[in-house]
Amino acid sequence: MSYKNFPMVPRVIFGRGSFNQLNDVLASKRLGINAPFIFLVDDVFKNNSWLTSRIQLSYDDKIIFVSAEEEPKTSQVDDLVEDIILMSKQRPSGVIGIGGGTLLDLAKAVSIMLTNEGSAKDYQGWDLVKSKAIYHVGVPTISGTGAEVSRTTVLTGPEKKLGINSDFTPFDQVILDSELTRGVPKDQWFYTGMDCYIHCIESLTGTYLNAFSESYGNMALDLCKQIFLEDHLSDIESQEKLMMASWHGGMSIVYSQVGVAHAMSYGLSYLLGTKHGIGNCIVFDHLEEFYPEGVKLFKQMKAEHGIVLPKGLCADLSDSDFNVMIKVALSLEPLWENALGKNWKKIITPEKLKSLYQKM
Ligand code: NAD
Ligand code: ZN
């Protein structure tokens, strides 16, 4: 048996207001006056000088605002890389992603594609990246996905929704400043926060579980219970704790895997463009038979925060639509094996998946 040798984020700053240290951190990483830093920033901050005025642009540094309306696409990564090459005299000194999972994943993918030939779609899979990415920094502004610690960047390509999983994907530096998350709308806070909760449940109940994943998963799960079910936390405490829950939830799945909700949510997202956080919630709500305890608690959290999930997403779908979703979901074999064991194909058939999707 050979154990996986995972890279981790080598540097991290944690603290309220630590975003102010970004400029200092970058100063020592500048490769030259013609090698700019490129800031990919969620366009929700476009008219928010509280955040953008704290980014010091020097020489040819650029801020590129990107919408997080849709999840990242391989073609979008290719376009961004082309724009950056055209606007930079030399290969950039670094890429800084500021936003949620969408912007973090874009920053990771762009930093890889600046040093690797071809299209981002050529690298969707495991360990296909050949050259080290350029220096890249992640600054989350919403907590839950774990994209700030993970070894993947999830992209929708022409043929599949699949991550670029590689040793070069993780950030070189992460800045965890919970103050940046203070403006997140309540629904979105819940959906992205539940991504973390679902990571914990899928990891902790999976067949791949080991002591490494379990320790991180338990820490994150405990934090989620405090944040979403107890009412004694201040806003600041709650924001800081969710930031750490996201981190630990991400660390938990590094050495295990996610499960049924993620597999099915990828199907929804591929066909309907349903975003990761809300998609996971819509699916998880119907998974009592796989995660009885986890779903019970999820429903309690949903009620506690008055969250009403959309219904009837699959009401008007054709058989061929269902088949597309089912094919995407079933292709994620490690997720099913983690959730249900080696004989998962006996439990999860296309008919079974269809009947589950029909409830959503
Ligand atoms: P997101 O980045 O899609 O953002 C969700 C919404 O919140 C957007 O409208 C965004 O503009 C808004 N927002 C973000 N920060 C805000 C703030 N401070 N104030 C106000 N609004 C704010 O959300 P997400 O749930 O963090 O990320 C989802 C993406 O992450 C998906 O594309 C998914 O595939 C990816 N993901 C990646 C990994 C990984 O390991 N790489 C893991 C899980 C999910
Ligand atoms: Zn997730």
Give the residue extent of every domain in the chain: 11-181, 186-357
Task: For the chain, give the mean pLDDT.
Answer: 97
Does residue 161 line the site of ligand 1, with CB under 6 A? no
pLDDT at 160: 83
pLDDT at 1: 78
Residue 55 CA to ligand 2 center (angstroms) comes to 29
pLDDT in tens, 21-65: 999 999 999 999 999 999 999 999 999 999 999 999 999 999 999
Contact predicate 198/291, CB 8 Å: no
Does residue 99 line the site of ligand 1, with CB under 6 A? yes
Residue 56 CA to ligand 2 center (angstroms) comes to 32
Using DSSP, state whether 232 is helix, strand or coil: coil
Does residue 179 line the site of ligand 1, with CB under 6 A? no
Give how far Cα 50 sits from Cα of 18, 42, 54, 157, 257, Å: 14, 14, 7, 35, 38
Q: 11-181 — its CATH code?
A: 3.40.50.1970
Residue 61 CA to ligand 2 center (angstroms) comes to 32
Q: Is the pTM of this model over 0.85?
A: yes
Residue 72 Cα: closest atom of ligand 1: 32
DSSP state of 73: B
- In the CATH scheme, what is the homologous superfamily, with its name and number, of domain 186-357? Dehydroquinate synthase-like - alpha domain (1.20.1090.10)
pLDDT in tens, 72-122: 999 999 999 999 999 999 999 999 999 999 999 999 999 999 999 999 999
Judged on CB neighbours under 10 Å (0-12, 13-18, 19+), 211 is exposed
Residue nearest to atom 33 of ligand 1 (CA): 276
Residue 62 CA to ligand 2 center (angstroms) comes to 30
Judged on CB neighbours under 10 Å (0-12, 13-18, 19+), 168 is buried
Count CB-CB contacts under 10 A for residue 285.
18
Does residue 165 line the site of ligand 1, with CB under 6 A? no
Residue 265 has pLDDT above 90, yes or no: yes
Residue 67 Cα: closest atom of ligand 1: 11
CATH topology identical between 11-181 and 186-357: no
Pocket test for ligand 1, best of 42, 248, 251, 270 (most atoms within 8 A of CB): 42
Mean pLDDT for the stretch of residues 263-281: 95
Which backbone phi and psi does 66 adopt, to 5 degrees?
Answer: -130, 135
Does residue 252 line the site of ligand 1, with CB under 6 A? no
Position 159 confidence tier, pLDDT thresholds 50, 70, 90: confident
Residue nearest to atom 20 of ligand 1 (CA): 184
